[in-house]
Amino acid sequence: MSDGILRNNMKVLRAKADLTQEQLAERVQVTRATINFVERGKWVPSALLALKIARVFGVPFEEAFYLE
């Protein structure tokens, strides 16, 4: 398996769901700054947080996060 960078489609999914970073943060119980960091790829979330985020958008994990 090759090393990769975890990317995400959070910004698109968030826009589709009409959610602000603050609202998403409240739903997954983290701070807004953490959502901002994850969205920009500056912070790799734990599996638990990534699954929670995918669940909020109602999409499979692979649709929210992918390896590049």
Applying CB under 8 A, among 7, 16, 17, 33 the residue interacting with another protein is 33
**Binding of residue 31 to another protein (CB under 8 A):** yes
Using a CB cutoff of 8 Å and minimum separation of 24, what contacts does 11-20 make? 11/39, 13/57, 13/59, 13/63, 13/64, 14/39, 14/57, 16/57, 17/56, 17/57, 19/56
Applying CB under 8 A, among 6, 26, 55, 59 the residue interacting with another protein is 26
**Binding of residue 29 to another protein (CB under 8 A):** yes
Length of the chain equals: 68
The contact set with another protein (CB under 8 A) reads 11, 20-22, 25-26, 29-34, 36-37, 39-40, 43, 45-46, 49
